[in-house]
Structure 1
Amino acid sequence: MQKREHFGGRAAVIMAMAGSAIGLGNIWRFPYMAGQYGGAAFILIYILCSFVLSLPIFLSEGLIGRRTHSNAIGAMKTLAPKSIWTALGYLSVITPTVIVSYYSIVGGWAVEYFVKSFSLSFGDFIPEGWTVLAYGTVFLGISCLIVALGVKSGIEKFSKFSIPLLFVLIVVILAYSLTMPGSEKGVEYLLKPDFSKLSGKTFAFALGQSFYSLSLGMGIIITYSSYISKDENLIVSGAGTAVADLLFAILAGFAIIPAVFSAGIEPSSGPGLIFQTLPFVFGRMGEAHAWIGVVISALFFLTVTVAAMTSSVSLIEVGVAYLIEEKHLKRGWACLIVFLSVWVLGLVSVFSGKAFGLIDAFSSNFLLTVGALLAVLFVGWKMKKEDVLEEITNGGKVNSRIAPALYFLIRYIAPIAVLTIFISNFIL
């Protein structure tokens, strides 16, 4: 049996967790939704949802992983052997494998556009075909190589390097974006509170964005938390992850939306914003001085690539941890098997845009929410209350005053929150 690795302290934990949280959704989805659903009012609701509703779900998954120090399937076999609850473990491994099969394709788009930035020759956006497969394979291969290096030498070191880099890059882009003529309209778009747009839909979307952005229901939190020391404060780790994720999303909004408004383009939702609209914006930047468009475009798509890769690394690690601990494979072989499995599964999405959309929708609307719901129900209703409180308080050493309130949120409020997301995915 291979010796199990652990993250080297709180900073490493938060960096790794933040790496899984910060991804493409922060760059295109959060700014668009903030502008469309109330600006600053939406952001306030998002913050509330993150810390009152999503954080208890984060803790539910986190304490499962840390209590057992095992992969997702091994964790459930330990906590609920030979019971239906082991389905949560299997779902927690299947879900990230499915997600990374198409997420790596989007990462490949980012790599391709980073390369194209140096000539500003983006052309028409073609989301499928052999070129997409080639770039997606490169992206997936690099992600798997990082995971193959191990928890401390691979994931932890990459996170400590990539997360600060992401913040530096996005701040540089933001600083330039705010100097563009007409950018103030984009700032207003994000910050002006429009309480007339607040509704049940706004709340559901803010909750859903918080849920997906924090990597809930994907098996990532269970897996990463299994590498956390028993002395680490889970609440601090979760709150630190939420703060880093929120801060990057806001910075990304102020980096992107003002530039879009400066070019006289209405912001749009989805990959079209970063792979169709923004290349046009970068071209406009380079009309007076070509090097400006090249530099800003290259920096932006480098940011997109790194953000996508930090998330893909965490998705890959879930399956790798399972193969190492349950099938007793060496880490290198486990990474190769995950790479080949994901690559083959991704072929469907590469050559069929319709299949891409269906797999994305199935993962987001069903797999994630079911996994998260099972996690909070298991922790809130199956596990012994004293065991849950022991994990939250590190055996009574920390968080003892707020632990009962958190347990109440996990047991009663979090399941309602997940069900709200699940239902809103189909009716809104």
Structure 2
Amino acid sequence: MKNHEQWTSKLGFILAAAGSAIGLGAIWKFPYMAGTNGGAIFFLLFIILTILVGAPILIAEFVIGRNTQRDAVRAYRKLAPQTNWHFLGLAGVTFSFILLSFYSVVGGWILSYLVRSFTGRLANADYGNLFNDIISNPAEVIISQFIFIVITILVVKGGVQKGIERASKYLMPALFIFFIVLAIRSVTLEGSAAGLEFLLKPDFSVMSGETVLLALGQAFFTLSVGISVMVTYASYLSKSENIAKSAFSVAGLNILICFLAGLVIFPAVFALGFEPGQGPGLVFVVLPAVFNEMAFGSIFLIIFLFLLLFATLTSAFSILEIVVAVLVKDEKEKRGKITWISGMLIFLVGVPSALSFGVLSDVQIFGRSIFDAADFLVSNIGLPVGAFFISLFVGYRLPRQLVKEELALGTNGVGLLFDIWYFSIRYVAPIAIVIVFLNSIGILS
């Protein structure tokens, strides 16, 4: 095998993995999912499921990737030769393909807003109507989605060190700092207290099996687990790093950014008279209105949209990387060509999702738009099912000693914490996923 590229530092890996995890999952999707599913109760379930189910599976993916130093398909082939476990990696690649196809549509929306912010056309606009005008314009959504995919391709084809890691090191901290500033402004708006209560005071009466399923899907979506993205990222990780500590760093940053996103959005929603259940357009409608309430708001809006675009791109990098890594197989000379071909195919598959709020708005798949159907397929079926089989693979297929030795690398040894994690990956995670699924389809309700 030719030399396998690696991250240059632990910090670079954590920031890149956190960028993949945070992305639109925390900033775009979490606020609207929480807004349409009870606010604080959804947030509470999300935290619990991230810690008890999401983080253990994230560690499991790190174990698979770092141990094998292989892509998502060959990693399973190496650990379980002459079995069908490699189909788990192939499923991950397939769902990653679908995920980026609709994810790039949202990236395109951000680009449309960014262009308008530079030209001054966002100032004092009717943001609800503006958002609807953008997403229903076929030429604009397709062109902006195409540009987003091209940016993603240009970075990913540069590889791990020169492309993904270099971009993440500088812009992830900037995004975090800016969100803190924005959250402070949001909670100081008059009437923001109702938004804080919506985010922080759970109402258990609105909880249902579907709420738990959606919270579980959100935990997996924001951590990028279940489709072997983190198997691929961890394959570039040095044997000297502590993967458990890295995993909890990523999970902790993920919860923190979701909390900050909630602090930015919901106090402003209630203070400015919006509805929290607006759906996918929530961030695009509320945040520009928040900036209107700030001194030099137009400048801050441009900075924020730029950082939001970066957060979106960091997730797109990781999703495209899993597809490219499987096809490149360490043959670096093929990387550029394969990245372009993969990216363009993903763009074409995503065109119906881009048009699903305009010319294809009447097309429904099981009562959902094309965009929402693709999102539901990945977030609430692909990710949980993939996470279920990953927990079984690490918990039952891999030798316990191999897993323990892998987790011990870069540490002074593992003891009780390993036993707790191993129990979780064998019993808690898979049982929780099954119970949530059965409850969501009405069998246990």
TM-score by length of 1: 0.90
Structure 1 portions without partners, runs of 5+ = none
Which residue is 2:381 aligned to? 366
Q: What amino acid is the match of 1:389? A: K
Cα–Cα, structure 1 residues 165 and 84, in superposed 2: closer, same or farther, change >3 Å?
Answer: same
In the alignment, does 2:188 pair up with 1:184?
Answer: no
Of 118, 121, 128, the match for 1:119: 121
1:150-176 per-position Cα deviation (integer Å, ceiling 9, x unaligned): 111111111112211211221222232
CA gap of 1:331–1:74, structure 2 versus 1, over 3 A, is same
Question: 1:352 and 1:201 mapped to 2: Cα distance?
Answer: 24
Say which is worse superposed, 247-256 or 356-365, in terms of deviation: 356-365
**Which residue pairs with 1:320 in the alignment?**
324
Indicate the SS of the match to 2:226. coil
Pairing of 1:333-344 with structure 2 (within 5 A) = 333-344=337-348
Report the identity percentage.
Answer: 39
1: CA distance between counterparts of 2:411 and 2:176?
36
2:50 partner amino acid: S
Q: SS in structure 2 opposite 1:110?
A: helix
What is residue 149 of structure 1 aligned with on the other side? 158
Tell me: CA distance 1:184–1:319, structure 2 relative to 1, closer, same or farther (3 Å).
same
Instruction: Describe the superposition over 1:221-253 as per-residue Cα deviations: whole angstroms up to 9, x where unpaired.
Output: 110011111221111011000111111111111
1:308: which partner in 2? Answer: 312
- Partner of 2:266 in structure 1? 257
CA deviations 1:62-113 (Å, max 9, x no partner) are 1111110000111111112231111112112111111101111110001101
Q: Secondary structure at the match of 1:309?
A: helix
2:171 equivalent in structure 1: 162
Question: How do 1:196-207 and structure 2 match up within 5 A?
Answer: 196-197=205-206, 203-207=212-216
1:399 to 404, 411, 414: 414
Q: Compute the TM-score of the two structures, normalised by the length of structure 2.
A: 0.87
- C-alpha displacement at 1:418, in angstroms? 2.5
Matches within 5 A, 1:40-59: 42-59=42-59
Identify which of 266, 271, 282 aligns with 2:275: 266
CA contact (8 A) 2:36 2:279 kept: no
Amino acid at match of 2:100: V
TM alignment of 1:21-420, pairs within 5 A: 21-32=21-32, 34=34, 42-117=42-117, 118-120=120-122, 123-125=130-132, 126-128=134-136, 129-197=138-206, 203-279=212-288, 281-282=289-290, 285=293, 291-292=296-297, 294-325=298-329, 330-353=334-357, 354-394=369-409, 397-420=412-435
Contact 2:35 2:279 in 1 (8 A): no
SS in 2 for 1:271: helix
C-alpha spacing 1:124/1:153, structure 2 compared with 1 (3 Å): closer
Contact 2:213 2:380 in 1 (8 A): no
Contact residue 173 and residue 296 of structure 1 kept, 8 A: no
| Deviation (angstroms), 1:200 | 5.3
| Equivalent residues in 2 for 1:4-15, closer than 5 Å | 4-15=4-15
Q: Which amino acid aligns with 1:17?
A: A
**1:367 Cα offset (Å):** 2.1
What stretches of structure 2 of length at least 5 have no aligned partner? 358-368
**How far, CA to CA, are the matches of 1:301 and 1:396 in structure 2?**
39
Distance 1:346 1:310, change over 3 A: same
| RMSD (CA atoms) | 2.6
Task: Measure how far apart 1:333 and its partner are.
Answer: 1.5
Partners of 1:346 and 1:403 in 2: CA distance: 41
Q: Is the 8 A contact 1:282 1:297 kept in 2?
A: no
AA matched with 1:270: G
Which stretch of structure 1 is more off in the superposition, 195-204 or 15-24? 195-204
Which stretch shows the higher mean deviation, 326-335 or 67-76?
326-335
**Do the aligned partners of 2:31 and 2:283 also contact (CA within 8 Å) in 1?**
no
Which deviates more, 152-161 or 322-331? 322-331
- 1:74 counterpart letter in structure 2: R
CA separation of 1:93/1:198 partners in 2, compared to 1, >3 Å: closer, same or farther?
A: closer
Q: Take 1:75 and 1:111, find their aligned partners in 2: how far apart are those partners?
A: 36
SS at match of 2:135: coil
Q: Which amino acid aligns with 1:189?
A: F
Q: Work out the CA distance in 2 between the residues paired with 1:360 and 1:132.
A: 17
Which string of whole-angstrom CA distances, capped at 9 and with x for unpartnered residues, describes residues 239-291 of structure 1? 00011111111111111111221211121253121234544x258638xx7x5
Instruction: Give distance in 2, aligned partners of 1:420 and 1:329.
Output: 46
Q: Is the 8 A contact 2:36 2:278 kept in 1?
A: no
Letter in 2 for 1:297: L
In the aligned structure 1, how far is the partner of 2:319 from the partner of 2:143?
20
CA contact (8 A) 1:16 1:156 kept: yes
- The code of the aligned residue for 2:427 comes to Y
What amino acid sits opposite 1:334 in the alignment? Answer: I
Q: Tell me the amino acid that sits aligned with residue 398 of structure 2.
A: M
Give the CA deviation at 1:189.
2.1
1:423–1:164 distance in 2 versus 1, CA, 3 Å:
farther
Q: Per-residue deviation at 1:180? A: 2.2
The alpha-carbon deviation at position 54 of structure 1 amounts to 1.4
Change beyond 3 A, Cα 1:112–1:49: same
Q: Which moved more, 1:179-188 or 1:120-129?
A: 120-129
Deviates more, 1:386-395 or 1:237-246: 386-395
40 and 159 in structure 1: CA distance in 2 versus 1, 3 angstrom threshold = same
One-letter amino acid of the counterpart of residue 121, structure 2: S
Give the conservation status (yes or no) of the 8 Å contact 1:162–1:310: no
The Cα shift of 1:28 comes to 4.0
Paired amino acid for 2:260: L
* Distance in 2 of aligned mates of 1:276 and 1:87: 41
Determine if contact 2:14/2:250 at 8 Å carries over to the other structure.
Answer: yes
